[in-house]
Amino acid sequence: MAIFDEELAHLKEKILKMGLLVEGSIRDSIKSLVERDGELAREVIMRDHQINALDVEIDEEGIRLIALRQPKASDLRFIVTALKITSDLERMGDLAEDICERAIELNEEPQLKPYIDIPRMAEIAQGMLVDVLDAFIKKDTTAAYDIIKRDDEVDGLTVQIFNELLFFMIQDPRTVSRAIKITYIAKYLERIADHATNIAEMVLYMIEGKIIRHMTREDIERLEGN
Amino acid sequence: MNSAFNPAYNPASGPAFKIEGLNAFYGPKQALKNVGIGIPQKSVTALIGPSGCGKSTFIRCLNRMNDLIPVFRLEGKILFDDTDIYSKEVDVIDIRRRIGMVFQKPNPFPKSIYENIAYGLRIQGINKRDVLDGTVEESLRKAALWDEVSDRLKEPALSLSGGQQQRLCIARAIAVEPEVMLFDEPCSALDPTATAKIEDLILELKKDYTVVIVTHNMQQAARVSTQTGFFLLGELIEFNGTDRIFTNPANKVTEEYITGRFG
């Protein structure tokens, strides 16, 4: 049915649009921290409603298609994936908003230290999001498996940042408030990467029909080998 | 235990039918090509596929309905209860009693509701009133029709609505205690409410009978069946769990057909 194909394409476009908005929010949230730009941080917070609106639109559209078109097989898996992906994207948007709130607070105090690992982490998390959207569009299983593996790198950096900040806090209690806020940001980025991983898992479900959530890394690698 | 017949799929119950290398011809035209399949017992098996794909020919082979077509010819084996139903020793009448069939268009006899059901027993020589009464009631109850007709059993069957007539045909088939019920597009002449009743009935029947249903309506196959076979141009393309067929079919052609992107 040609009209159904158009509807599916339209849904895909909306997801892509939502993903790019989220990606922009993450990028700007870190920029507002690193460049101490409170104005930019407030702007990111202000535009989160666009992401929320798309979340609702995509849900409504997906539910409508299930009710009216009774999708089957790959069409069904695509729509279910769309519905689940948007929840992850919406949460990622919220986390970018959280980063901005901490950035605004941090920008009111002297900078604790030069930000090195945080931007690196953000770059990886953002890259995971961009690539997972690409894998979703291109139905690329190899890319999706690769994204899942990159989550380890982000987890490693989170621990590294926490240890470093712990050292600051022990050395000088006056740094505690700022160090905790930076730790939060690291945690937000780690969560963003987790959501990108969830999306990669859903993309694999969409393509292969296999649910790999909650599998061990070894089992996933075995699947990838097949 | 069915893996030899259903290579991609392991049903929960053993096979009622084992079909090997089935080829069917109408004169020079081949309608079925090397179909091999095990049909699980006490379970609903749906057969789907575009018009002319062979699914109706296939279901009609299962109780030798095609014997009535002069140009029809069959190769291969259909084992029912481990007996080849096409072997010379087999009594066709007995096979058709054990393997009942309901057709697209309800076809009650132009007799009373009661006599439609009693007929099958009478030709078996059963004429005792209380036995007939008991079977008529039991069959109508199983076909979910009793409550609607119990006070007018003497009325003509043709006075019933289409959906009621179809349930009467099911009751008539049940009355002779078959082991298998074959349904060839049983709802295509019925409205959605009557269709829902027949579908509920089919789900009820699978507790006691092996059910095979040919349907054009894929949602119907999805709703009532445990396993689904997809036919195309006389070949059985895929036989798999219905949930698998509708969420992640193994064959690309099945996918194209059920998502409506075929041809």
pLDDT 10s digits, A145-169: 999 999 999 999 999 999 999 999 9
How confident is the model over B34-58, as pLDDT tens digits?
999 999 999 999 999 999 999 999 9
Average the pLDDT over A75-97 and give the result: 97
Q: Residues B187, B194: contact at Cβ < 8 Å?
A: yes
- For residue B211, CA distances in Å to A88, B48, B83, B217, B235 come to 44, 14, 19, 17, 21
Cβ–Cβ of A73/B219 closer than 8 Å? no
CA gap A203, B24 in Å, rounded = 43
CB contact under 8 A, A77 and B259: no
Cα–Cα distance, A128 to A23 (Å, whole number): 10
Using the Cβ of A167 and the Cβ atoms of chain B, whether some distance falls under 8 Å is answered with no
Mean pLDDT, range A25-53, rounded to an integer: 97
Is the pLDDT assigned to residue B127 strictly greater than 80?
yes
Give A72→chain B minimum CA distance, Å.
Answer: 5
Q: Express each pLDDT in B130-165 by its tens digit.
A: 999 999 999 999 999 999 999 999 999 999 999 999
* Cα–Cα distance measured from residue A143 to residue A203, given in angstroms and rounded to the nearest whole number: 10
- Give the pLDDT band of residue A1 (cuts 50, 70, 90): low
Which residue on chain A is closest to B220 by alpha carbon? Answer: A70
Q: What is the mean pLDDT of residues A38-50?
A: 97
Residues 6+ apart with CB under 8 A from B5: B15, B18, B19, B20, B36, B37, B38
pLDDT tens digits for A8-37? 999 999 999 999 999 999 999 999 999 999
Copy the structure tokens of residue A117: 């690992």
Of A75, A208, A209, the CB nearest to B259: A75
Residue A93 pLDDT exceeds 50: yes
pLDDT of residue A213: 85
Q: In CATH, what number does A2-225 get? A: 1.20.58.220
Other CB atoms within 10 Å distance of the CB of residue A149? 14
Q: Which of residues 17-76 of A touch B (CB under 8 A)?
A: 70-76
Q: Which domains does chain B have, with CATH numbers?
A: 15-108+180-258 (3.40.50.300)
Per-residue pLDDT band for A2 (boundaries 50, 70, 90) equals confident
How confident is the prediction for chain A on average, in pLDDT?
95
HSE-CB for B104 with a 13 A CA cutoff:
10
The half-sphere exposure of B225 on its side-chain side, counting CA atoms within 13 A, is 32
User: In chain B, what percentage of residues exceed pLDDT 70?
Assistant: 97
Domain boundaries, chain A: 2-225
Position B15, amino acid: P
Q: Is A155 exposed, middle or buried (0-12, 13-18, 19+ CB in 10 A)?
A: middle
Looking at residue A209, its amino acid is G
Q: How many CA atoms within 13 Å lie on the side-chain side of B2?
A: 22
Query: Taking a C-beta distance cutoff of 8 angstroms, is the pair A148, A197 a contact?
Result: yes
The answer to whether residues B39 and B15 touch, using CB atoms and an 8 Å cutoff, is yes
Tell me: pLDDT of B2 over 70. Answer: no
Check: CB of residue A22 under 8 Å from CB of residue A129: yes
